[in-house]
């Protein structure tokens, strides 16, 4: 079954194609985004709007770069900061700090107009290369799979959310791959822009969220 990814960002689509067993089709639509400090709320709102636009089951992704020294900034404002301040200057600002730790956090949000089963409790899990995902997620104040039905906009369509987080460090730009903040985000001695898409996926916030989404789709589609 084809799954439709509503996003303006082809880099995200490439990553989803590496991960999901199902064929992924991009619907290039700039979904309106609410302003919120809560990535889950932004993603849920985005998924509902995308579903209403597409008229078919869809998923969206919302992600941001959270710099520890700036209490998480740019976080949910990453897109705006990327287009205004720019990646190079985010590096320069961070280079003045002693603490250059940061994390990418992301949420994959799925909406098909239906209700979802009750959400299981978070479980300890490893990624496909044996990394302990739960250890990274514990420090990042994310929760595991969730269903959201109300984000202050009344009786809203249910949205299923899958979170992912990866800790790293802000460094001077290196590498030509990836997109967005990838050149300044270092994980295990390499920036995300120095990794192939499958290498980035194996450790990234999006890869982690997509892994949970893929597991859920597979379970749901098993008779
Ligand atoms: P859509 O909303 O259309 O999906 P977008 O690129 O605007 O695409 P986001 O709002 O989720 O996506 O992204 C916020 C910013 O964070 C944006 O500047 C992205 O380039 C950046 N970003 C998101 N995921 C990233 C990743 O895996 N690597 C590097 N930068 C990323």
Domains of the chain plus CATH, in order, are: 3-221 (3.90.950.10)
Q: How far, in Å, is the centroid of ligand 1 from the Cα of 82?
A: 9
Predicted confidence band at 154 (pLDDT cuts at 50, 70, 90)? low
How far apart are the C-alpha atoms of 133 and 131, rounded to whole Å? 6
pLDDT in tens, 59-90: 999 999 999 999 999 999 999 999 999 999 99
> What mean pLDDT is reported for the chain?
86
ipTM score assigned to the predicted complex:
0.96
State mean pLDDT over 192-204: 91
Position 95 scores a pLDDT of 98
- Report the DSSP beta bridge partners of residue 110: 59, 160
Position 44 scores a pLDDT of 92
Instruction: Inform me whether the pLDDT recorded for 186 exceeds 80.
Output: yes
Q: Is residue 55 left, alpha or beta, with left meaning phi > 0 and alpha meaning psi from -120 to 50?
A: left
Q: How far, in Å, is the centroid of ligand 1 from the Cα of 65?
A: 9
196 part of the active site? no
Position 132 scores a pLDDT of 52
Percentage of the chain exceeding pLDDT 90: 61
pLDDT in tens, 105-149: 999 999 998 888 765 544 445 544 444 555 555 444 345 557 777
Position 78 scores a pLDDT of 95
Residue carrying the six token digits 């940061």 = 102
Q: Which atom of ligand 1 is nearest to the CA of 206?
A: 27
Position 153 scores a pLDDT of 58
Residue carrying the six token digits 């990646």 = 87
Query: Which residues, judged by CB distance below 6 Å to any ligand atom, belong to the binding site of ligand 1?
Result: 7-9, 12, 61-64, 78-79, 82, 104, 178-182, 192, 204, 206
Sequence-ordered strand ranges (E) for 69-158: 101-111, 146-148
More confident residue, 223 or 217: 217
């Amino acid at each position: 079954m084809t799954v439709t990814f509503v996003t303006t960002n082809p880099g995200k689509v490439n990553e989803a194609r590496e991960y999901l067993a199902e064929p992924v089709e991009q619907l290039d639509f700039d979904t309106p985004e609410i302003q919120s400090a809560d990535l889950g709320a932004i993603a849920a709102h985005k998924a509902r709007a995308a579903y209403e636009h597409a008229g078919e089951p869809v998923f969206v992704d919302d992600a941001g770069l959270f710099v520890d020294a700036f209490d998480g900034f740019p976080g949910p404002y990453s897109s705006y900061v990327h287009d205004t301040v720019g990646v190079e200057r985010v590096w320069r600002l961070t280079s003045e700090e002693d603490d250059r730790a940061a994390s990418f956090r992301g949420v994959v949000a799925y909406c098909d107009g239906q209700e979802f089963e009750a959400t299981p409790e978070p479980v300890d899990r490893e990624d496909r290369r044996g990394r302990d995902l739960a250890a990274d997620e514990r420090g990042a104040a994310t929760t595991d799979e969730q269903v959201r039905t109300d984000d202050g906009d009344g009786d809203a369509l249910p949205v299923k959310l899958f979170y992912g987080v990866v800790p790293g460090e802000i460094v001077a730009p290196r590498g030509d791959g990836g997109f967005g903040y990838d050149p300044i985000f270092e994980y295990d001695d390499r920036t995300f822009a120095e990794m192939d898409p499958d290498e980035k996926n194996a450790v990234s916030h999006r890869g982690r969220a997509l892994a949970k989404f893929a597991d859920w789709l597979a379970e749901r589609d098993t008779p």
